[in-house]
Amino acid sequence: MSKTPRVVVIGGGFAGLLAVRQLERAPVEITLIDRRNHHLFQPLLYQVATAGLAAPSIAAPLRHIVRDQRNVTVHMGEVVGIDTRTRSVSLPDRQIPYDYLLVASGATHAYFGHDHWEQFAPGLKTLDDAFLIRRRVLSAFEQAEAATSAAERDACLTFAVIGAGPTGAELAGTLAEIARHTLKRDFRNIDTRKARILLIEAGPRVLSAFTEALADKARRQLERLGVEVHTGKPVTEIGAGFLEFGGQRIAARTILWAAGVAASSLGKQLGTDLDRAGRVRVQPDLSLAAHPEVFVAGDLASIEQDGKPVPGVAPAAKQMGARAARNILALIAGRKTTPFRYTDVGALATIGRHSAIVQLPNLRFSGLFAWWVWLAIHIYFLIGFRSRLIVLINWAWAYFTYARGARIILGNEVGKVHGGEKESSA
């Protein structure tokens, strides 16, 4: 081992970044590797996808975030291999050795064995995904305006969101508001208020992580906004411009996927036990049984507490990142590591412009006050004063006007039928 211990952190998401910050004053050399140059606040990604916020409001360059932390070097690159035997990680052009490794490369969407659906129904995980979705949504209204038949117009004005967890519910609620309010005076040939927004869920209810009473309130709020909610109906097929569920086939130009999650494929490189979603089964202290110097944290880690899996949410990722870092310090100091213990800080979801549900360990509420709580918490956790201020001003403006400022279509989308033969662009 070199004199100063080398800690490599893969992933500058919630878990990786919290670990790096935890090691701020530690006598270690940290290399933070991420394939993207930015940390992303995923809980507000749907706002970028629906033109409410611009990208810099919810993302910040990793270099900038850690610029004052002298023991960190940021390396932008894709990790393609991990060799626990030689203790090094591989990027396409180099190997980076480590004494301690934290793998926090998160998760991505899963299409339950139907990978070809991705081209028709993009998921929401990165800023690129959000830009693609924004382009498809805004272009669908443009194409409806130019449609030459009622069938084409109806398909363009049908938006299907698959999966009624928080992201699906937030997307569907916001799309309904865009159609009913934001765009209602912008077009001449179509009435955007007639757009159909479908939210389709295979399970028996929306927002299954919340209590039944809160989930019912959220469903009623979605329906008030004009969202058609379908529960207990798994989607059986998706193709170019259509989807099938509950024995019916619906023509829809815009289909969005918010249904499944699979762990980052780096988990497989660790040569250890994985759960069904591909997450790494870790020891109570978040390390690997065969490699106590390797830790896994965040969405990639599979760990149970009181007989239940620790959920794949931002607070759990942050807490794991911090615990893994403290355990690395314990090993360096020759002390025993401490088991990870998840503190449930509650769950929030927003449904439309000023309604939300809040589920705290001992308190549950919904409605306008819940929305203010939701807003305050999300702004508080954004990284950087500038992004907090911009988001606050954006929201204040949108709250009173229904405006969505980021409605610029970039790229060539109008006229496309996704994944199908008719890829003629206007």
- Which residues participate in catalysis according to the annotation? 170
Taking CB under 6 A as the rule, does residue 325 contact ligand FAD?
Answer: no
Among 11-19, 189-197, 212-220, 237-245, which window interacts with ligand FAD (CB under 6 A)?
11-19
Q: What is the Cα 397 distance to its own chain's centre?
A: 25
Taking CB under 6 A as the rule, does residue 206 contact ligand FAD?
Answer: no
- Find, among 37, 110, 99, the residue nearest to 264 by Cα: 110
| Residue 118 vs 142, nearer CB to ligand FAD | 118
Taking CB under 6 A as the rule, does residue 214 contact ligand FAD?
Answer: no
Left if phi > 0, otherwise alpha if psi is -120 to 50, otherwise beta: which for 372? Answer: alpha
Among 13-21, 52-60, 136-144, 411-419, which window interacts with ligand FAD (CB under 6 A)?
13-21
End-to-end CA distance of the chain: 60
**Residue of 125, 220, 281, 407 that binds ligand FAD (CB under 6 A):** 125
Left if phi > 0, otherwise alpha if psi is -120 to 50, otherwise beta: which for 248? Answer: beta
Query: Is 144 within 8 Å of 191 (Cβ atoms)?
Result: no
**Shortest reach from residue 132's CB to ligand FAD, in Å:** 13
Taking CB under 6 A as the rule, does residue 391 contact ligand FAD?
Answer: no
Taking CB under 6 A as the rule, does residue 52 contact ligand FAD?
Answer: no
**Shortest reach from residue 422's CB to ligand FAD, in Å:** 29
Gap between the Cα atoms of 343 and 138, Å rounded:
40
| Residue 157 vs 175, nearer CB to ligand FAD | 175
Site for ligand FAD in 216-255 (CB under 6 A): none
The total of other beta-carbon atoms located within 10 Å of residue 21's CB is 16
Gap between the Cα atoms of 13 and 298, Å rounded:
9
Taking CB under 6 A as the rule, does residue 64 contact ligand FAD?
Answer: no
**Residue of 15, 26, 176, 255 that binds ligand FAD (CB under 6 A):** 15
CA 121 to each of CA 8, 49, 188: distance values in angstroms, whole numbers, following the listed order: 35, 14, 28
- Find, among 31, 38, 35, the residue nearest to 2 by Cα: 31
The C-alpha torsion from 380 through 35 and 137 to 46, rounded to 10°, is -20
Taking CB under 6 A as the rule, does residue 256 contact ligand FAD?
Answer: no
**Residue of 11, 239, 241, 260 that binds ligand FAD (CB under 6 A):** 11
Among 5-13, 192-200, 211-219, 284-292, which window interacts with ligand FAD (CB under 6 A)?
5-13
**Residue of 5, 53, 102, 106 that binds ligand FAD (CB under 6 A):** 106
**Shortest reach from residue 262's CB to ligand FAD, in Å:** 12
Q: What is the Cα 7 distance to its own chain's centre?
A: 27
Gap between the Cα atoms of 388 and 396, Å rounded:
12
Gap between the Cα atoms of 141 and 178, Å rounded:
11
248-262 in b/e form (b: 16+ CB < 10 A) is eebebbbbbbbbbbb
**Shortest reach from residue 153's CB to ligand FAD, in Å:** 30
Among 98-106, 145-153, 243-251, 329-337, which window interacts with ligand FAD (CB under 6 A)?
98-106
Site for ligand FAD in 275-314 (CB under 6 A): 298-300, 312-314
Taking CB under 6 A as the rule, does residue 173 contact ligand FAD?
Answer: no
Taking CB under 6 A as the rule, does residue 269 contact ligand FAD?
Answer: no
Amino acid at 238: I
Taking CB under 6 A as the rule, does residue 13 contact ligand FAD?
Answer: yes
**Shortest reach from residue 357's CB to ligand FAD, in Å:** 12
**Residue of 5, 16, 267, 278 that binds ligand FAD (CB under 6 A):** 16
Query: Is 103 within 8 Å of 280 (Cβ atoms)?
Result: yes
Q: Contact residues for ligand FAD (CB under 6 A)?
A: 10-16, 33-36, 42-43, 45-46, 78-79, 104-106, 124-125, 166-167, 264, 266, 298-300, 312-315, 317
